[in-house]
């Protein structure tokens, strides 16, 4: 498709020299060279591998072609994505799925690919174009949305929701929910706990790499990447666009802010709030994501203060 035509159809004003081919839209981290890259932050622009960057950041001199939407960058990106959906570049996840029900009361969408030895228990729901590998166990009452890709030897516990619509609203009303164009991709030997929710990506895939274990009642937001051999304990919430690198441990009831990167081997202690990037192999705890030693020192000082002792 031609960039100028896409932007005009989306209700945006094309920049100069926009008579070029584009194949789609994605977040700046994952955009290919012929895709429109969506940049929400200044630091993202420099990492773009494409010449087409959609941003509302005030940049005037760059080698890249910059598109300045009239409204917010997210709302403009949604408008562009809907044009690609209309022309069949991406599936429309708002479409009603045509289900068939088997003897175990499992609801099946169309064109699914299920591997050898895989078990899907009663009252689960499998959307269209879902691919599930070999020897995977899907327990009862699990929802797997259309387009999801699941590897071999995966265990998904009762009531989990995989590839649910992203909780991402735009504009002036909460009714403007956008179902996303990304999928959920789950690697081999992954465990997903009871009633855990993993959201579909908005402009990129939500990815869970192999050997990762996720506990019960965990919420993983849209466009999240979780690396190999991670452990995420129950009741943790991970916001959208978060990157969790390999061998990270996140213990129970933690909250991870959007756009945060947690580097390899880091440990997030229980009930911590992570609001900034975490260095590799560090141990973090507390409401402000301090190092664990600093948090323990602060707690000790507070106890002495309460007792009336000198700090």
Question: In the annotation, is 228 catalytic?
Answer: no
Given a cut of 70, whether residue 174 has pLDDT beyond it is no
Kindly tell me the burial class for residue 84, based on how many C-beta atoms sit within 10 Å of its own C-beta (0-12, 13-18, 19 or more): buried
**Position with higher pLDDT, 287 vs 7:** 7
The pLDDT of residue 229: 98
Report the chain's mean pLDDT, rounded to a whole number: 90
**Position with higher pLDDT, 308 vs 106:** 106
Given a cut of 80, whether residue 289 has pLDDT beyond it is no
Residue among 230, 200, 218 at smallest CA distance from 159: 218
- What is the C-alpha separation between 38 and 26, in angstroms, rounded? 6
The pLDDT of residue 86: 94
**Position with higher pLDDT, 61 vs 285:** 285
Confidence of residue 292 (pLDDT cuts 50, 70, 90): low
What is the enclosing helix (H) or strand (E) of 138?
A: strand 137-138
Contact call for residues 110 and 146 (beta carbons, < 8 A):
no
Contact call for residues 27 and 203 (beta carbons, < 8 A):
yes
The pLDDT tens digits of the residues spanning 30-61 come to: 999 899 999 988 888 878 888 888 988 776 55
Strand, coil or helix: 114 = strand
Confidence of residue 239 (pLDDT cuts 50, 70, 90): very high
The pLDDT of residue 175: 65
């691919």: which residue's tokens?
131
Contact call for residues 227 and 247 (beta carbons, < 8 A):
yes
What is the enclosing helix (H) or strand (E) of 107?
A: strand 107-108
Structure-block tokens of residue 291: 């190092």
- pLDDT, mean of residues 187-214: 97
Is pTM beyond 0.85 here? yes
Catalytic residue from among 87, 158, 222, 292: 222
Strand, coil or helix: 5 = helix
Strand, coil or helix: 83 = helix
- pLDDT, mean of residues 110-116: 96
HSE value, Cβ hemisphere, 13 Å, CA-based, for 26: 23
Confidence of residue 307 (pLDDT cuts 50, 70, 90): confident
Confidence of residue 264 (pLDDT cuts 50, 70, 90): very high
The pLDDT of residue 213: 98
Pairing type for strands 283-285 and 290-291 reads antiparallel
User: In this structure, which CATH number among 3.40.1390, 3.40.1000, 1.10.357, 2.30.30 belongs to the domain 3-86?
Assistant: 3.40.1390
Given a cut of 90, whether residue 306 has pLDDT beyond it is no
Structure-block tokens of residue 88: 């069949």
Structure-block tokens of residue 99: 């289900």
- What is the C-alpha separation between 67 and 25, in angstroms, rounded? 13
The pLDDT of residue 309: 59
Maximum alpha-carbon separation in the chain? 72
- What is the C-alpha separation between 56 and 12, in angstroms, rounded? 13
In DSSP terms, 238 is beta-bridged to 220, 256
The pLDDT tens digits of the residues spanning 202-231 come to: 999 999 999 999 999 999 999 999 999 999
- pLDDT, mean of residues 134-139: 98
The pLDDT of residue 59: 63
The pLDDT of residue 61: 52
CA 284 centroid distance within chain: 23
The pLDDT of residue 290: 64
């Amino acid at each position: 498709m031609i960039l100028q035509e896409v932007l005009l159809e989306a209700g945006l004003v094309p920049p100069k020299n926009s008579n070029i081919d584009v194949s789609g839209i994605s977040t700046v981290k994952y955009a290919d060279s012929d895709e429109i890259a969506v940049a929400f932050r200044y630091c993202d622009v420099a990492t773009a591998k494409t010449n087409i960057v959609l941003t509302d950041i005030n940049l005037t001199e760059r080698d890249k072609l910059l598109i300045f939407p009239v409204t917010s960058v997210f709302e403009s990106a949604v408008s562009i994505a809907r044009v690609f959906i209309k022309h069949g570049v991406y599936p429309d996840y708002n479409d009603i799925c045509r289900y068939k029900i088997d003897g175990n009361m499992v609801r099946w969408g169309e064109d699914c690919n299920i591997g050898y030895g895989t078990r899907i228990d009663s009252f689960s729901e499998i959307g269209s174009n879902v691919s599930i590998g070999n020897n995977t166990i899907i327990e009862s009452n699990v929802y797997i949305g259309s387009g999801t890709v699941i590897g071999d030897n995966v265990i998904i516990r009762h009531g989990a929701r995989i590839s649910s619509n992203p909780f991402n609203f735009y504009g002036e009303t909460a009714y403007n929910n956008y179902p996303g164009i990304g999928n959920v991709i789950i690697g081999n030997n992954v465990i997903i706990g009871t009633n855990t929710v993993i959201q579909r990506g908005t402009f990129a895939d939500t990815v869970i790499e192999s050997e990762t274990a996720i506990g019960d009642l965990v919420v993983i937001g849209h466009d999240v990447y979780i690396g190999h051999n991670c452990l995420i304990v129950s009741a943790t919430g991970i916001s959208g666009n978060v990157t969790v690198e390999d061998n990270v441990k996140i213990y129970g009831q933690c909250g991870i802010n959007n756009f945060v990167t947690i580097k390899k081997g880091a440990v997030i202690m229980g009930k911590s709030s992570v609001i900034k990037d975490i260095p590799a192999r560090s141990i973090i705890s507390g409401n402000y994501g301090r190092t664990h030693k600093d948090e323990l020192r602060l707690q000790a000082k507070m106890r002495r203060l309460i007792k009336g002792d000198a700090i």
